[in-house]
Chains A and B, each alone.
Chain A
Amino acid sequence: MIAGMTGSKKTNAAALEKRQFVSFWVDGQLLGVPVNAVQEVLTAQHIARVPRTRREIAGLLNLRGQIVTAVDLRKSLGLPDRDSDKPYMNVVLRYQGDSYSLLVDEVGDVIEVDSASIVAVPRTLDQRWKKVTSGIIRLEGRLFIILEVTTVLGLH
């Protein structure tokens, strides 16, 4: 477990509030979503393609009788496609009564940070990323990008 790195000296309760994120890797980038948005994490599942959907929608999967819409993060973030023989994982999110799965390369730890260590999205960030990012956290030598669930799913 990686501890949140905060340079802030603020001592009030709000600043010390801890927040937890489920982290995962997509094309070498560490991304995360709030832990309470995640329903479960699964290995690769059979995904039924649905013709005529947006390209980032990988299809539908049957999760114990519940139908989950799978979104391929590589496609929605404009990253190169995953090699077809490479494994992937499903990060299943619960959002407004429906379930969605984010297809990611690999799932990492749950990362806990102080809410004060979350910095706002820099203006200079690529438009495509900016739209789906809700905040950025500096971890030891790397950036941890927190995704905005609504926009990353393409719902708004």
Chain B
Amino acid sequence: MEDDIIQGFLEESWENLAQLDTDIVAFEKNTEDDELLASVFRTIHTIKGTCGFIGLARIGAVSHAAENVLGKMRDRSIARESDAISHVLEAVDAIKELLQGIESTGEEPAIEHPELIEALECIAEGKSPSADSSASAVSAETSPLAATPEIEAKPSDGSSVVDIDANLLQNESGDIDFDALDQAINEAAARHRAKVQQEQKTIKKAAPAGEANGAPAEAAGTQNPTGGAESEKKSVSDLSIRVNVGVLDRLMNLVGELVLARNQLMQLARGDEESKYAAPLTHLNRVTTDLQEGVMKTRMQPIGHAWNKLPRLVRDLSKVTGKDIDLEMTGADTELDRTVLDAIKDPLTHMVRNSADHGLEPTAERVAAGKPEKGTIRLNAYHEGGHVIICIEDDGGGINTERVLQKAITQGLVNESDADSLSEYEIHQYIFRAGFSTAEQVSSVSGRGVGMDVVRTEIERIGGTVDLLSQRGRGTTVRIKIPLTLAIISALVVESGGQSFAIPQLGIVELVRVQAEERHRIERVHDKQVFRLRNRLLPLVHLSETLQVESGLTDESDINIVIVQVGEEQMGLIVDRVFDTEEIVVKPVGRLLKDISIYQGTTILGDGRVIMILDVSGIAAEFGSLSTSGGEHDQADGERGAEDGQTSLLVFDAGDQTTMAVPLSLVSRLEEFPQKDIEFSSNGPVVQYRGHLLPLQSVSPSGATSQRDPQPIIVFSDGRQSMGLMVDAIQDVVQEHLSIQVQSQRTGVLGTAVINGKATEVIDTQHYMIRTDPQWFRKSHAQNYRVMVVNESPFFRQLLTTSLQSQQCLVTAVDSTEDALSALEKPNAYDALILDFDQVETTAQDLIDWIRQQKNIADLPVIGLASHLDSEMQQVAQQAGCALLLEKLDMGSLNNELDRICRSRTKKRGVSA
């Protein structure tokens, strides 16, 4: 019984206290507002009264002292001044602290506030309180700024109980004789000790008179200012009831199920216009929709609930920072689902704090800049197309773009070379990076670097987005877009591997369909598939690969790409089919499936099927980690759209009207550097790149350094070192049969091939690498391996020979198996054989078989090369007796593998000998 009373007291008190901060701050601005003062007085009085009644002595003492001050203010026997109000606020904090203690332990904590009480008593007597206690008005212990974590951790008034009609709870003035009530309660308290039952009734009678039921009762008070307690209570309960949130959540779930059942029925009846069920179904449909809306409405709360802490916060901040700040709030009655509301409370508080602390300039600076002395923070909320938009705007100094950029550079988020090409908007986005803070000093208010990134994570967690716009000297606007509710969302249904999946519409940017004959638009950069959409390269992810299911796509099918937004990035998700968008009811993922990060929920479609809702950020995270592990490198390379032996070639202008090409697989990255960043060392031009010096070579046949600004650079890298090739312009990526028509005598060029119907020189990257560093390839090998290369194509023979020779291998290159046979007859002449698998599989097989039969060279390792790697090919090669099969142009892997195989072989020999 006792517990029930305390629980009820806590609920009411939290609710009243939330309103109290707002009221006190409002009163401070307009100290002539007697009604406000009366409302504040009543709330404190209520708390005091109830405390006395249930024996919470410490809260009682603090609230009593505060009430005295307020009472004197009401009677105008003391001045209504800021200092006194600060002390009252401090008392409110003390009460909150004590309430929190009761909530967590069930006992009133043993925290006394003698100084505070003394100060309040001084004020009430018209004296000024001692200096140190006034300073503590915004001290670290009690200030909500410093104590934010605690306050934020505290369950808010709305966490267990919702008020159906918040408007009814608005405080209005009511003339109630508090002294008489006081007495009544005290008497009740006395009786309580004797007879518990009796008290229960007394509470119910005494409380409604503005006490136990606080605000609601007062609202009624206006209708019946002098009326008895009984009638007031009745009129309130007629209009508004408290409902446990659990009940509403359950209702919402049931409505969700009803919506599903309705959808199923509608699906069954579709196409049967004559059905006798048609009319009742239409009716059911309408009622269900209304019911859904109605239940959703009960969960709606005005955004003002998330705002009511802010006036107090801004007031205290203004005291701490010495800035004069005005907080304007519009659209406080904009409603949104309570789960969403809960989620945005903390981010909102954080952003307002940010605006006040380092958004608005100090007063002197404002005056100097010709702005009004008083800074303004404007909060605005409104509905827009199924979303709620919240704007937090300040008329402060705006973001210091320079400082953000500098910080981003020192943190290694931006290359200095890229810095110039970034727009102001792009630079500002770095504010959302984790650990990013430009505040020069860490204050108690902000500057710890755990700020905007948390804000963004929180907002994105509920499917919202954050946008930031800032103008130097004019101010900053943060625009938050959040869904109205999380329970029912619009989603796109797609198919992959014969199964349907839902993708939340909120994250989808657009849908792109690539016709089968346009498949070449899907390119490969390194081991990743990319898609060029309006000059942007989007990484592509096959949903079927992520899901580990068999894709239903064939080589002839068109490709559907769902472009999704993940944070700052966009990504293309390749799906087998795209169906419709549907309104779906989100159900949580079952416990047994929770550990799979690619799902964010489950739902039931109109036809009764259960499908998973995909979490695109989970998919993106997985994709990202795949790219760094590189474990699937070979396999992924194997799918390089090199159908029918085609090779992807990067075509570029080399100056002097020459077009040149290089196999794309050899290219690490494409970069652009402004001319001013290119420096000259004794070894030629270099540029600072990712914390290293990148040596540059000119590709221009005339040797003249071209003067492009910015300078396009093709970066080649083997993991240990890199070099950049300066070219005039990057033209295109093409798919071609690479066949070298004319051998070249020129250094640096392998030969000329016909690409896109034009004679194009294919460059020898190794030539440039060795020119950059003669030791380039020597670092990996200690041995001079003897290698035989069997390849019919002079181009590849040449390529392999140069590559292997540069690695200090002794190369014998032959163009047929016959030649190979005769060369191999000498025992122990070779360490490895490199065989082309593209040309004549059977002769390759014959050669290997023959080798395996020879006593001396039976264990000679054979490395197969193929332009197109797939599992079938791998199998063929393995059966044939190849140690491994590599991609033809992948010189890096070839060198590494050769080294590995030869080294282990020499070691083995050493042991057996």
Chain A residues with a Cβ under 8 A of chain B: 46, 48-54, 57, 59-62, 64-67, 69, 71, 98, 100, 153-155
Q: Decide if B611 touches A48 in the complex (CB within 8 Å).
A: yes
B497 contacts across to A, CB distance below 8 A:
51
28 pairs from A and B in contact (CB 8 Å cutoff): A46-B608, A46-B609, A48-B499, A49-B499, A50-B593, A51-B499, A51-B547, A51-B548, A51-B549, A52-B547, A52-B596, A52-B598, A53-B592, A57-B593, A59-B610, A60-B590, A60-B602, A62-B608, A62-B609, A65-B260, A66-B257, A67-B587, A67-B610, A69-B591, A69-B592, A71-B592, A100-B592, A153-B592
Instruction: Give min CB distance, A63 to chain B, whole Å.
Output: 10
A59 contacts across to B, CB distance below 8 A:
610
Distance of A52 Cα from B257 Cα, bound (Å): 27
B754 interfacial by beta-carbon distance below 8 Å: no
The 7 A-B pairs at the shortest CB distance, nearest first, are namely A65-B257, A51-B547, A60-B610, A69-B590, A48-B610, A62-B610, A69-B592
What per-residue 1/0 map shows which CB atoms of B80-99 lie under 8 Å from chain A? 00000000000000000000
Q: Which residue of A61, A64, A154 contacts B592 across the interface (Cβ within 8 Å)? A: A154
Distance of A51 Cα from B593 Cα, bound (Å): 10
Distance of A22 Cα from B911 Cα, bound (Å): 66
Q: Decide if B596 touches A62 in the complex (CB within 8 Å).
A: no
Instruction: Give min CB distance, A131 to chain B, whole Å.
Output: 16
Residue of A nearest to B497 (CB): A51
Distance of A67 Cα from B609 Cα, bound (Å): 10
A64 contacts across to B, CB distance below 8 A:
257
Q: Decide if A54 touches B604 in the complex (CB within 8 Å).
A: no
Instruction: Give min CB distance, B626 to chain A, whole Å.
Output: 14
Q: Decide if A61 touches B547 in the complex (CB within 8 Å).
A: no
B587 contacts across to A, CB distance below 8 A:
67
Distance of A154 Cα from B591 Cα, bound (Å): 10
B261 contacts across to A, CB distance below 8 A:
65
Residue of B nearest to A54 (CB): B592
B609 contacts across to A, CB distance below 8 A:
46, 48, 62
Known: A67-B602, A69-B593. 11 other contacts (CB 8 A): A51-B549, A52-B547, A59-B610, A62-B608, A64-B257, A67-B604, A69-B590, A69-B592, A100-B592, A153-B592, A154-B592
Distance of A67 Cα from B587 Cα, bound (Å): 8
Distance of A46 Cα from B497 Cα, bound (Å): 18
Instruction: Give min CB distance, B605 to chain A, whole Å.
Output: 9
B590 contacts across to A, CB distance below 8 A:
60, 67, 69, 98
B69 interfacial by beta-carbon distance below 8 Å: no
B612 interfacial by beta-carbon distance below 8 Å: yes
Instruction: Give min CB distance, A25 to chain B, whole Å.
Output: 23
B608 contacts across to A, CB distance below 8 A:
46, 62
The residues in B between 176 and 235 inclusive whose CB is less than 8 angstroms from any CB of A are none
Instruction: Give min CB distance, B164 to chain A, whole Å.
Output: 26
- Number of B residues contacting the other chain (C-beta, 8 Å)? 24
Distance of A114 Cα from B587 Cα, bound (Å): 41
Distance of A61 Cα from B256 Cα, bound (Å): 17
Distance of A44 Cα from B836 Cα, bound (Å): 55
Distance of A125 Cα from B547 Cα, bound (Å): 37
Instruction: Give min CB distance, B402 to chain A, whole Å.
Output: 47
Known contacts A51-B549, A52-B548, A62-B604; decide if A155 and B592 are in contact (CB<8 Å): yes
Distance of A62 Cα from B612 Cα, bound (Å): 12
Q: Decide if A57 touches B592 in the complex (CB within 8 Å).
A: yes
Instruction: Give min CB distance, B868 to chain A, whole Å.
Output: 28
Distance of A67 Cα from B611 Cα, bound (Å): 10
Q: Which residue of B257, B596, B602, B604 contacts A53 across the interface (Cβ within 8 Å)? A: B596
A154 contacts across to B, CB distance below 8 A:
592
Query: Which of A50, A64, A69, A100 has the most chain B CB atoms closer than 10 A to its own CB?
Result: A50
Distance of A64 Cα from B610 Cα, bound (Å): 11
Instruction: Give min CB distance, A37 to chain B, whole Å.
Output: 16
A71 contacts across to B, CB distance below 8 A:
592
The residues in B between 503 and 549 inclusive whose CB is less than 8 angstroms from any CB of A are 547-549
Distance of A60 Cα from B593 Cα, bound (Å): 10
A69 contacts across to B, CB distance below 8 A:
590-593
Residue of B nearest to A53 (CB): B593
Residue of B nearest to A63 (CB): B610
Residue of B nearest to A69 (CB): B590
The residues in B between 601 and 657 inclusive whose CB is less than 8 angstroms from any CB of A are 602, 604, 608-612
Q: Decide if A98 touches B611 in the complex (CB within 8 Å).
A: no
Q: Decide if A65 touches B604 in the complex (CB within 8 Å).
A: yes
Distance of A62 Cα from B548 Cα, bound (Å): 24
Instruction: Give min CB distance, A154 to chain B, whole Å.
Output: 6
A153 contacts across to B, CB distance below 8 A:
592
Distance of A48 Cα from B593 Cα, bound (Å): 13
B610 contacts across to A, CB distance below 8 A:
48, 59-62, 67
The residues in B between 153 and 177 inclusive whose CB is less than 8 angstroms from any CB of A are none
Distance of A154 Cα from B256 Cα, bound (Å): 29
Distance of A49 Cα from B547 Cα, bound (Å): 11
A155 contacts across to B, CB distance below 8 A:
591-592
Distance of A89 Cα from B304 Cα, bound (Å): 53
B596 contacts across to A, CB distance below 8 A:
52-53
Instruction: Give min CB distance, B592 to chain A, whole Å.
Output: 5
Instruction: Give min CB distance, A53 to chain B, whole Å.
Output: 6
Distance of A51 Cα from B497 Cα, bound (Å): 10
Query: Which of B260, B497, B549, B591 has the most chain A CB atoms closer than 10 A to its own CB?
Result: B591
A60 contacts across to B, CB distance below 8 A:
590, 602, 610
Distance of A54 Cα from B590 Cα, bound (Å): 13
Residue of A nearest to B602 (CB): A67
B599 contacts across to A, CB distance below 8 A:
50
Residue of A nearest to B592 (CB): A69
Residue of B nearest to A49 (CB): B499
Residue of A nearest to B260 (CB): A65
Residue of A nearest to B544 (CB): A51
The residues in B between 480 and 519 inclusive whose CB is less than 8 angstroms from any CB of A are 497, 499
Instruction: Give min CB distance, A102 to chain B, whole Å.
Output: 12
Residue of B nearest to A99 (CB): B590
Instruction: Give min CB distance, A74 to chain B, whole Å.
Output: 17
Residue of A nearest to B596 (CB): A52
Instruction: Give min CB distance, A66 to chain B, whole Å.
Output: 7
Distance of A53 Cα from B592 Cα, bound (Å): 8
Distance of A64 Cα from B260 Cα, bound (Å): 9
Residue of A nearest to B496 (CB): A51
What per-residue 1/0 map shows which CB atoms of B409-447 lie under 8 Å from chain A? 000000000000000000000000000000000000000
Distance of A154 Cα from B595 Cα, bound (Å): 13
Residue of A nearest to B599 (CB): A50
Instruction: Give min CB distance, B630 to chain A, whole Å.
Output: 22
A52 contacts across to B, CB distance below 8 A:
547-548, 596, 598
Distance of A125 Cα from B609 Cα, bound (Å): 40
Instruction: Give min CB distance, A153 to chain B, whole Å.
Output: 7
Instruction: Give min CB distance, B595 to chain A, whole Å.
Output: 9
A98 contacts across to B, CB distance below 8 A:
590-591
Residue of B nearest to A48 (CB): B610
Distance of A155 Cα from B257 Cα, bound (Å): 26
Distance of A153 Cα from B547 Cα, bound (Å): 23
B256 contacts across to A, CB distance below 8 A:
65
Distance of A98 Cα from B602 Cα, bound (Å): 13
What per-residue 1/0 map shows which CB atoms of B564-603 lie under 8 Å from chain A? 0000000000000000000000010011110010110010
Distance of A65 Cα from B257 Cα, bound (Å): 5
Distance of A71 Cα from B593 Cα, bound (Å): 12
Instruction: Give min CB distance, B764 to chain A, whole Å.
Output: 45
Query: Which of B261, B547, B587, B590 has the most chain A CB atoms closer than 10 A to its own CB?
Result: B590
Distance of A83 Cα from B195 Cα, bound (Å): 73
B257 contacts across to A, CB distance below 8 A:
64-66
Instruction: Give min CB distance, B574 to chain A, whole Å.
Output: 15
Distance of A154 Cα from B547 Cα, bound (Å): 22
A50 contacts across to B, CB distance below 8 A:
593, 599, 612
Residue of A nearest to B258 (CB): A65
